[in-house]
Amino acid sequence: MKGKEKIIHRLQETTLCYLIKENKVLLAMKKRGFGVGRYNGIGGKVKEKESLEEALVRETSEEIGVKPISFKRVAVLDFLFPEVPGDKDWNQRVNVFLIKEWEGEPEETKEMKPAWFPIDDLPLDKMWVDDKIWLARVLAGETLEGEFTFAADQKTILKHSIKKAI
């Protein structure tokens, strides 16, 4: 077949959560693994036979020691890394949640170091580059769907699309 063929990407289902309190959002510095050295929300891979909600609760408990009580899904974002071997599971469908009620106090773990930031003053220079495009919008109440294609350096967005979800 001549010309460009559409590449089918297997997407790892994941969760990404942001705790919200008094115009502040909890971000956590990733200490190891994928995304190390960046502030991000809390979350990770959905295990086989696990629901999104079960993964959200498990990951949040493992990574910062809190149990979500009240949460809402606010975005579904696909992240593609076509230059990275597929077996690395970097291609992800990220289900983004805002958590407004939880049990426990966020604490540092081997995985992440949490910190509160004013919603209107996020450390965007220390976060994934795509966060500049969508994070403020979901923190302001929008519900979004999107797709981001990254270069292998994890810093360059090759293309993206974002729209309000119905």
Answer yes or no: is 6 within a domain.
no
Answer yes or no: is 85 within a domain.
yes
Question: For the domain that residue 48 is a member of, what is the CATH number?
Answer: 3.90.79.10
Q: Domain limits at 55? A: 12-164
Q: Residue 40: its pLDDT value, please?
A: 96
Which residue ranges of the chain lie beneath pLDDT 50? 1-6
Answer yes or no: is 155 within a domain.
yes
Answer yes or no: is 83 within a domain.
yes
Answer yes or no: is 134 within a domain.
yes
The whole-model pTM stands at: 0.91
Asked if residues 67 and 106 have their Cβ atoms less than 8 Å apart, the reply is no
Buried b (16+ CB within 10 A) or exposed e, 71-90: bebbbebbbbbeeeeeeeeb
Number of domains present in the structure of the chain: 1
Q: Residue 166: its pLDDT value, please?
A: 65
Q: Residue 9: its pLDDT value, please?
A: 57
Q: Residue 1: its pLDDT value, please?
A: 39
Q: Residue 152: its pLDDT value, please?
A: 86
Answer yes or no: is 100 within a domain.
yes
Answer yes or no: is 33 within a domain.
yes
Question: Per residue in 137-148, pLDDT tens?
Answer: 999 999 999 999
Answer yes or no: is 3 within a domain.
no
